[in-house]
Amino acid sequence: MILFGNIVIYLIMACAFIGCMAYVFKEDSELGAQFLEGIYSIGAIFIPVAGVTASAPYLTWFIKKVFAPLFQLCGADAAMAATTFIAVDMGGYQLADALAQTRESWIMAMYTGYMAGATIVYIILQIVGLNGHLCHIRRTV
């Protein structure tokens, strides 16, 4: 059963890659247009979320070097910085686990991530998406 699941996943990935390449190399092709329509059907939030997930290594470095020391100056564990700025389902879970000084602080960081992290990340993504939409509206009016 695991083999069947892996085959299905690789088939989906291959089709997505082919559609992506069709869009990248020839935007007006039917396959490329259908690929983009499929991405948009997932929801307007997909592209920004994928961007945050793809930039997770850079965000991780930035949080470790900038925000974690600031949180530690305030007496908070560095794991709290991870889940405040990266939602738990976008890599904050693993980053908090790596930064936590104790298992208890990791658990508290998870609570923060489930409440504040997701809210902050998704609100920022919605503002970025809405700002582009508002700029387009302003230009057309």
* 123 in the same domain as 82: yes
Lowest-pLDDT choice from 56-60, 75-79, 110-114? 56-60
Q: Which of 98, 73, 74 is nearest to 82 (CA)?
A: 98
Q: Tell me, yes or no, whether 47 lies in a domain.
A: no
Is the pLDDT at 138 greater than 70, yes or no? no
Q: Which domain holds residue 23?
A: 2-42
Pick left, alpha or beta for residue 43 (phi over 0 → left; psi -120 to 50 → alpha; otherwise beta): left
* 95 in the same domain as 58: yes
For the entire predicted model, the pTM comes to 0.57
* 66 in the same domain as 21: no
Q: Tell me, yes or no, whether 130 lies in a domain.
A: yes
Is the pLDDT at 118 greater than 80, yes or no? no
Q: Which of 33, 30, 35, 8 is nearest to 19 (CA)?
A: 35
* 57 in the same domain as 36: no
Q: Tell me, yes or no, whether 28 lies in a domain.
A: yes
Token pair listed for 138: 């302003």
* 125 in the same domain as 69: yes
Q: Is 20 exposed, middle or buried (0-12, 13-18, 19+ CB in 10 A)?
A: middle
Better pLDDT: 121 or 32: 32
Q: Tell me, yes or no, whether 114 lies in a domain.
A: yes
Which single residue is written with the structure tokens 């949080």? 63
